[in-house]
Amino acid sequence: MYDFIRKFDFFDWWDAGYADKAARNLKSIQDAWVLSELHSCEGLRIGEVGGGDSRLLRQLADKNACVNIDKFEGAGLGPQKVVEIPGVDVARAYMGDFDEVLADESFDVLFSVSVIEHVIDDRVSACFADMARILKPGGRMLHAIDVYLYDEWSLMPAELAGRIGLYRECAMGSGLRWECDPVIGDEVSFRCDIASNSDQQIAYSCKLVPELREQKAAAQNCSIKMILVKD
C-alpha cells in the first residue's frame, strides 16, 4: 500500500472507535489508521520506530511485546529524554544505523507515525533497509508519513516533490513487497477526499517552526499510508 489517508476511511475508523475523539490534529488521524490495522494483534513483537511519547504502544502493550525504537534526542521536536511507558521496552537506536541492539528478524510488526519525513534524503534508503533487516519473514511494516500537498503538482517545491518518489523507491529497494499495489503516482496534488491537518493545529505549529509558515499556509498537511510485507 502506498496511498494517502482518505477522509472516508477516517470516518469509518472514527465510527469503529479507533480515533481519539477529543483530538483535532493529523497525528490522531494517523494513529487511528495504525490502530485500525493493529487493534487485533495479540502475542506479537511490535516495534514503534521513533515512538517518542508513544500514544499507540500504550494501547498495544497489554497484548503484545512492545519496543519503542528511538534515541530520544529531540529530533523532529520529539522528546529529549527517555519516556518510560509501562510494559514497553526501549531500544535506544535509530533505524538506518544497523545497531546490533536490534537483532535481525526479531519483530512481527514495525510501524511509525510522523518519523520517516524527518529522515534526511541520504539516510532514507538505509532506514528502510535496516527496518527490513529486523522484520521477521511474514512480518509487516506500516508508516504514516507527513507530506505537504499543493493545489497543483507544479507548485510543489522540488525537495518536497522528490520525497514522494524517494519513499517509494527506498521501500521497493528494501527487498519487501507492497501489501497492495501503490496508488500514489509521480505527480500528486491535494484532493478534497484526502484527510489533512486542522488549520488550528497548523497555526499552532507555525509558532514551533516559523520558517515553514509560508509552506503551511500554501499547502495541506496530509499523510501517506504505506504498508510493506516481508516474505
Ligand X SMILES: C[S@@+](CC[C@H](N)C(=O)[O-])C[C@H]1O[C@@H](n2cnc3c(N)ncnc32)[C@H](O)[C@@H]1O
Note the residues at the interface with ligand X (CB under 6 A).
27, 49-52, 69-71, 73, 75-78, 94-96, 113-115, 118-119, 127
Q: Is 26 exposed, middle or buried (0-12, 13-18, 19+ CB in 10 A)?
A: buried
Pairing of strands 65-69, 45-49: parallel
Q: Provide, rounded to whole angstroms, the least separation between the CB of residue 84 and ligand X.
A: 15
Q: Provide, rounded to whole angstroms, the least separation between the CB of residue 116 and ligand X.
A: 8
Nearer to ligand X, 16 or 77 (CB): 77
Nearer to ligand X, 104 or 193 (CB): 104
Which residues sit opposite 225 in a β-bridge?
3, 144
Q: Which of 58, 38, 57 is nearest to 48 (CA)?
A: 57
Q: Which of 166, 156, 168, 96 is nearest to 132 (CA)?
A: 96
Q: Provide, rounded to whole angstroms, the least separation between the CB of residue 166 and ligand X.
A: 15
Structural contact between residues 183 and 3, judged by C-beta atoms closer than 8 angstroms: yes
Structural contact between residues 41 and 47, judged by C-beta atoms closer than 8 angstroms: no
Q: Provide, rounded to whole angstroms, the least separation between the CB of residue 153 and ligand X.
A: 26
Q: Provide, rounded to whole angstroms, the least separation between the CB of residue 57 and ligand X.
A: 10
C-alpha grid cell, residue 131: 527496518
Nearer to ligand X, 88 or 115 (CB): 115
Nearer to ligand X, 52 or 139 (CB): 52
Helix (H) or strand (E) holding 178: strand 177-178
Nearer to ligand X, 96 or 139 (CB): 96
Nearer to ligand X, 74 or 185 (CB): 74
Pairing of strands 45-49, 2-4: unpaired
Tell me which residue has its CB nearest to ligand X.
78
Q: Provide, rounded to whole angstroms, the least separation between the CB of residue 146 and ligand X.
A: 8
